[in-house]
Structure 1
């Protein structure tokens, strides 16, 4: 009898052990599947369902390897912003109607932007020949030193209607990202070289290796302050992850890439990228077969920008305010031609001169402004937004409500106002408009942009605020109003 009980216990123990091993193996298998197919982090925070882990990782690490003028006008907090006044005004009712539910991004015609970095070089002529044959326009982010060597190729890029962007002077990572002053100097030097050849300095900029792990918040803010527009990409062709990447592997990366209504594709036309030239006709055919058209990038295009990483690749100090005041001036895009006016030039029309006053308002009485963030959609009527040459300003109340934040003022005599968000707090000095950003884990950081007070309403720049708190601006557009009608 004792022997039978011992045997039964052994059998029960063996059965439990067998079930435990089986469950353990199933958990390991499930975690493996999740890791392989679902754990990649999208640096742009969009379209996770279509990206492979490899594609998303490539976006983060880059290939191989967004603020205003200081506005000194003091402002005061509007009574409308004070939490102790619950009464709604007509303006508040308009504001509430502007904060839409979390609607999906509306679909639009599919456009792909082919971009080529690091040229011009011996391969650029072949790329231009293929683009001409296929009747496709593209964007070339050029290096200053390469323009010096091949000015005739840059002239051809411009003459044939392609767009030009600034990609630094020599692509030297360590110098570019160890100190913003070095990056700034290379961008200005390259802009001058381009202007000497084609007659204008482009506003489009792409950081060598991409912005992820290379840019901090100050890089974005100072370039935006000067009027430059920084672009990363959606799809990396993988043609520069090592030397001699074959055509078949490039096409594999293209096919695996995310396909959005507006998709930016990264390629290279520098020395050593002959396989990219071979793959280009198939790349064009692939996107045509998927229903895409091809366009150039312009300053009006919503920029693709990777999120600022919390990890640090480079040790550097922020540049001082004294240096910023002395050196960070607006990019002079005036010249014989401007990239956003290329189409008009080719048709024989003369481009309008760039406005010189940076805070001059544009006439928007016939346009409404629609902006989409990852939180939802803002639909603003004329009078609910203000445009400058650099940014679109909206009332602080509208923006904080849209982002589920709060405006906090201790009392009417307080010198500060707090815009509280789940990511952190922006504190604004009510006397000067200066803004400071702080999170629970970071030191106070002075921001470049300032608020504007007009008619008792506090206005803040949309994109710089979103950049500060890390919320992507997915899309924006200015839409003509129907005659005699204002949309609700």
Structure 2
């Protein structure tokens, strides 16, 4: 598999991000046609956005089977260099009405976070591949590990100038840290205190190693359906959601880095 050599690095990074973002708040940006908070004002609806990172893979088909069986749509943030040999999976995601976002081309932290231009180039390369396969561009992006510690005001402006919109999360399963986490643990994490977050933006993963996430997914969907949640996809009209931008010395350093 293409990413086996990178799994230990990715796991270490995910562990840091996971513990940093547990119960963390996100900013619902009011800069587009549709703000996520507006969902709260419509008939007291409870909204959930299922999101899956790190695809496409052969296992992604199984995720799609489960979503289809439950008549639920989701959003997939795809890694560009995994699209090759998985074009049919990407076509299926698109044809079955799910939303597609960008999760960089390589998912290699040193490369993508080298500077702002490198990050944007990674997103553009993935966008070109998705357009080639589906005929449609995507400007929805998710930072590997989340935008925390990578986003600042000048870089946010630069991303907006390139038509990109950021989507972090407010609930996550630990499958990004440990793909072998027991399914019951993943269910518990994915359904923890959803009333604190409306809408819920749930982070899970759908790479080849996430078999236990597949097992957990039907129970997660069942839980949110029983709680009266409406499942939605992130689209170009969905308002951004990202972790708060910090103003400190580290942020000042990022300001200088991502101006280049």
Place the TM-score, normalised by the shorter chain, in its bin: 0.7 to 0.9
1:193 to 112, 117, 129: 129
Does 1:220 find its partner at 2:184? no
TM score, norm. by length of structure 1: 0.44
CA root-mean-square deviation: 2.4
In the TM superposition, 1:13-162 aligns within 5 A as: 57-58=21-22, 106=41, 108-162=44-98
CA drift at 1:148: 1.9
Equivalent residues in 2 for 1:143-292 (5 A)? 143-259=79-195, 260-292=197-229
Task: Supply the distance in 2 between the matched residues of 1:190 and 1:305 (Cα, whole angstroms).
Answer: 21
Aligned residues: 226
**C-alpha spacing 1:174/1:165, structure 2 compared with 1 (3 Å):** same
CA deviations on 1:92-114 (whole Å, 9 max, x unpaired) are xxxxxxxxxxxxx7463112110
Residues 113, 138 of structure 1: 8 Å contact kept: yes
Structure 1 partner of 2:244: 307
Structure 2 CA distance for partners of 1:133 and 1:314, relative to 1, 3 Å: farther
Q: Is the 8 A contact 1:167 1:207 kept in 2?
A: yes
SS at match of 1:178: coil
Where is the helix percentage greater, Structure 1 or Structure 2? 2
Shift in Å, 1:178: 2.5
Unaligned runs of 5+ in 2: 1-17, 32-39
Q: Post-superposition shift, 1:193? A: 0.7
* Aligned residue among 233, 238, 249 for 1:296: 233
**8 Å contact kept, 1:234–1:258:** no
Structure-2 change in CA distance of 1:124 and 1:249 (3 Å):
same
Q: For 1:288 and 1:171, locate their aligned partners in 2 and report how far apart those are by CA, in whole Å.
A: 33
CA distance in 1, matches of 2:219, 2:258: 45
- Cα deviation, residue 265, structure 1: 0.6
Give the CA deviation at 1:217: 2.2
- d(CA) in 2 for partners of 1:283, 1:291: 13
Alignment CA distance shift 1:173-1:257 (3 Å): farther
Distance 1:261 1:274 in 2: 28
What TM-score, normalized by structure 2, do the two folds share?
0.80
More strand by percentage: 1
Matched residues in 2 for 1:249 and 1:314: separation?
Answer: 38
Residues 24-63 of structure 1 show CA distances to partners (whole Å, capped at 9, x for unaligned) of xxxxxxxxxxxxxxxxxxxxxxxxxxxxxx8774366xxx
Task: Please list the CA deviations of residues 306-331 of structure 1 after superposition, one character each: whole Å capped at 9, or x if unmatched.
Answer: 011336399653455xx7xxxxxxxx
Matches within 5 A, 1:317-466: 317-318=256-257
Gaps of at least 5 residues in structure 1 are 1-53, 61-65, 69-104, 324-488
Give the secondary-structure state (helix, strand or coil) at the position aligned to 1:209: coil
Query: Comparing both chains, which one has the higher relative contact order based on Cα–Cα distances under 8 Å and sequence gaps of 6 or more?
Result: 2
Q: Which has the larger radius of gyration?
A: 1
Q: How big is each residue's C-alpha offset from its partner over 1:275-304, in whole Å with a ceiling of 9 and x where there is no partner?
A: 100000000001011110111111221221
* CA distance, structure 2, for counterparts of residue 312 and residue 244 of structure 1: 34
Question: Structure 1 residues 124, 288: CA separation in 2 closer, same or farther (over 3 Å shift)?
Answer: same
Structure 2 equivalent of residue 377 of structure 1: none
